[in-house]
């Protein structure tokens, strides 16, 4: 019952949050965890002309209750931080520090204002909406991650796709 509530809450919060634009940039996706209700947000940082700030293209921060906090150095270097592989004015290729095998593409949305993060899924590129990490114990340094769920949307059909990743099988 609790898992179902968390899933429904995450869908609701994505509907409300994903269309928002902060003062600094445009929200791209978020990460939720089973450990608590705190969420990590990823935003495109834009220049005054509306193009990506290629020096610092993605801002990452925690939303904890009513406060906003930056990632700690440990979180940025070992878990939720990003590595920029290639940067151009309208496209950024990057990966998570914790999983370099999976590439993501920050790209201008065709025919619309704004940017989206795309990830390859079943041989096609899909829009990344959110990530949910199921943590079942472990320690601070070595959490026991049971499952990682990516909620995607196919750009042509607008069909919602769910990819479940079992870290034990990687």
Contact yes or no for 63/80 (Cβ under 8 A): no
10 Å CB burial of residue 8 (0-12, 13-18, 19+) is exposed
Instruction: Give tens-digit pLDDT for 121-166.
Output: 999 999 999 999 999 999 988 899 999 999 999 999 999 999 999 9
Q: CB–CB of 43/25 below 8 Å? A: yes
What pLDDT, on a 0 to 100 scale, did the predictor assign at position 63?
95
Q: Could you tell me the sign of the dihedral formed by the alpha carbons of 157, 15, 113, 95, in that order?
A: negative
Q: What is the mean pLDDT of residues 79-95?
A: 93
CA-nearest of 88, 102, 33, 92 to 59 is 92
Q: Is 164 helix (H, G, I), strand (E, B) or coil?
A: strand
Q: Where are the domains of the chain?
A: 2-169
Which two structure tokens, joined as six digits, stand for 8? 């429904």
b/e burial code for range 34-47 (CB count within 10 A of at least 16 → b): eeeeebbbbbbbbe
Could you please report the per-residue DSSP string of 38-83? EEEEEEEEB-TTSSB-TTS-EEEEEEETTEEEEPPHHHHHHTS-EE
Of the pLDDT bands very low, low, confident and very high (cuts 50, 70, 90), residue 88 is confident
Reported pTM: 0.83
How high is the pLDDT of residue 3?
37
């Amino acid at each position: 019952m609790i898992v179902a509530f968390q899933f429904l809450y995450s869908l609701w919060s994505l509907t409300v949050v994903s269309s928002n634009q902060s003062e600094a940039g445009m929200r791209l996706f978020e990460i939720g965890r089973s450990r608590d209700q705190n969420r990590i947000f990823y935003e495109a940082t834009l220049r005054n002309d509306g193009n990506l700030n290629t020096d610092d293209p993605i801002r990452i921060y925690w939303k904890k209750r009513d406060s906003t906090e930056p990632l700690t150095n440990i979180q940025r270097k070992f878990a939720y931080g990003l590595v920029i592989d290639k940067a151009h004015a309208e496209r950024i290729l990057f990966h998570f520090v914790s999983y370099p095998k999976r590439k993501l593409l920050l790209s201008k949305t065709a025919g619309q204002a704004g940017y989206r993060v795309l990830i390859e899924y079943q041989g096609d590129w899909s829009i990344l909406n959110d990530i949910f990490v199921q943590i079942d114990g472990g320690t601070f340094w070595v959490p026991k991650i049971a499952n990682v769920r990516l909620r995607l949307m196919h750009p042509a059909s607008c069909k919602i796709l769910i990819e479940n990743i079992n870290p034990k099988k990687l």
